[in-house]
Structure 1
Amino acid sequence: MAEVFTRPTGPLGGARTSGAIDQGLRSFMLGTYNYMALGVAGTAAVVMLLMANPQVMQAIALGPMKWVLFAGVLGLGWFAPKLFYSGSEVMAHGAYWLYCALWGALIAPMIAMFVSHGMAGLIGQAFFVAAATFAVTSVIGYTMKTDMLGWGNYLSMASIGLIIAMLVSFFFVTDPGTSKLVSFGISSIVVILFTVITAFETQAIKSMYIENASYGGEAQLKRSSIFGAFMLYGSFVTLFIHILNLLGLANQQ
């Protein structure tokens, strides 16, 4: 996961003019957001497919498979720059779509639980709030003048700390009342943190384009677009999950 906050640079090549960079940036960002949107749609398709197969869903929810999926998501997040920039465009696509599929399988039991408890409406609410939050913070990251690129190490450490906190809570907090309070606190912090991360990632993607448009080739730009979608997708799904958790906890009161 931490490696996602490392901003790769492209190989040296023919430089482009600043005018060409300005003209291409909008289409580059649009392509990145399109990849991200397709990834979210793919994740939704995986969730619906698994919900149509209760036996597979139960195996994921109750068996060790959820930890395999969790490890897969973390592993892809950690090694993402190497996978995206050390291989071909095909490898970049493969890593991205595998990431989306793993997330879909990982969150499918949670979505199924909300549906089975008559709280399907909260899923739509959580998606709308996550989409609005993501859109606003991404625009802020794109337009703000403050340089956030030096924040990468701090955001990485904060993310690792939250992962550890979630694991400790899962294994060691057994009292239902305490567990609910801890879950609410962790999800609240995650939502705040990933609004900042979304702005950071948007600015980093913009910077990647400028670097690669100036010194890299078209293939490098293409991989950068997919990698940018990878980063933004992970932040959006994380926002959605924890906003849904907050809504679910609030609905229980």
Structure 2
Amino acid sequence: MANWNDPQPRSGLGASPSLGGRTGTRVGYDAGLRRHMLSIYNYMASGVLLSGVVALLFAQSGMAAQVLTTPLRWVIMLAPLGFVMAMSFGVNKMRTSTLQLLFWGFAIVMGLSLSSIFLVFTGASIATTFFATAGAFAGLSLVGYTTKKDLSGMGSFMIMGLIGIMIAMVINLFVQSSALQMGISILGVLIFAGLTAYDTQRLKQEYYVLAGTEFAGKAIVMGALSLYLDFINMFQFLLSFMGQRD
């Protein structure tokens, strides 16, 4: 593991960062960490793009309006959860290539599920909310990547909050309260904003444990899945009170 308290590189006799000294190790870890995180963000961004394209095409084809009014809509809505559970519980037994295929499959079925937003909200408000989410996500990821403060406590608090709003969402299916829905949306944005920073720091810290192991490739896919879920959920909660309805 890199020693972040090492002194700055020296010039002259005794300075040999290129010979595998501690400074050289730190530089190597820095470069490896950047590649690792870039791979995660590339997977995550590609997954979001794939979901967006599938959602748009499915909605514009007219199939979304037809399918989402039938019992088949429950299959489309629950399929992403099935992919997430399969990846989470099977990660240790699956090959990296299998996880990658499941990730792309998840992105596709998530796109089918997201197609309903094009039937409810205007395209302009969807685009505006998407770019607002992208900007917030980038800023929060930067905070999580650069901060020296341990965010694990905040992460635990956010996960408890997530369980709370899930319960509130189930309750609101029966009471149909607009005020409760607004509160859920606001809390949802805040919770997934916090989880974005927390997950970024967690993935950064995991690199130093997993670097050089055969699990490193799987960690990239699972890390992309975590950040994808943070982004999409923050986008959906934000859209629920920022979006303009048709």
TM-score (norm 2): 0.82
* Aligned with 2:93 (options 86, 95, 117): 86
Distance in 2, Cα, partners of 1:74 & 1:151: 25
Alignment match, 1:99: 106
Matches within 5 A, 1:124-143: 124-143=127-146
Structure 1 CA distance, aligned partners of 2:66 and 2:186? Answer: 29
Partner of 2:175 in structure 1? 173
Give the structure 1 partner of residue 233 of structure 2.
Answer: 238
CA spacing shift, 1:70–1:164, aligned 2, 3 Å: farther
Q: CA deviation at 1:72?
A: 2.7
Q: How far apart in 2 are the matches of 1:158 and 1:111?
A: 28
User: CA separation in 2, counterparts of 1:164 and 1:53?
Assistant: 35
Supply the distance in 2 between the matched residues of 1:68 and 1:164 (Cα, whole angstroms): 21
Unpaired runs of 5+ in structure 2? 1-23
Deviation at residue 18 of structure 1 after TM alignment: 4.2
SS at match of 1:147: coil
Residues 122, 247 of structure 1: 8 Å contact kept: yes
- TM (norm. structure 1) is 0.80
Give the AA of the match of 2:88. P
- Are 1:47 and 2:55 counterparts? yes
Give aligned-pair identity as a percent. 31
Give the letter for the 1:211 counterpart: V
Q: Cα 1:60–1:165, aligned 2, differ >3 Å: closer, same or farther?
A: farther
1:10 aligns with none
Q: How many residues align?
A: 222
Q: Deviations over 1:123-155 (max 9, x none)?
A: 111011100110111100011111123554443
Structure that is richer in helix per residue? 1
> 1:153-180: per-residue Cα shift (whole Å, max 9, x none)?
443332222222212212x124xxxx32
CA separation in 1, counterparts of 2:65 and 2:225?
28
Q: Distance in 2 between matches of 1:151 and 1:65?
A: 38
Secondary structure, counterpart of 2:237 in structure 1 = helix
Match of 2:41 among 30, 33, 43: 33
Change beyond 3 A, Cα 1:85–1:211? same
| Structure 1, 77-86 or 236-245: larger mean CA deviation | 77-86
Judging changes above 3 Å, is the alpha-carbon distance between structure 1 residues 204 and 27 closer, same or farther for their aligned structure 2 residues? same
Structure 1 window deviating more from structure 2 (192-201 vs 220-229): it is 220-229
**Structure of higher CA gyration radius:** 2
1:229 corresponds in structure 2 to 224
Tell me, yes or no, if the aligned pair for 1:155 and 1:197 is still in contact at 8 Å.
yes
1:123 to 126, 139, 151: 126
C-alpha root-mean-square deviation of aligned residues, in Å?
Answer: 2.1
Partners of 2:230 and 2:206 lie apart in 1 by 18
**Structure 1 CA distance for aligned equivalents of residues 159 and 72 of structure 2:** 26
Bigger RCO of structures 1 and 2 (CA < 8 A, at least 6 apart):
1
Q: Paired residue for 1:201?
A: 199
2:73 maps to: 66
Q: Is the 8 A contact 1:46 1:105 kept in 2?
A: yes
Comparing 135-144 and 145-154, the one that deviates more: 145-154
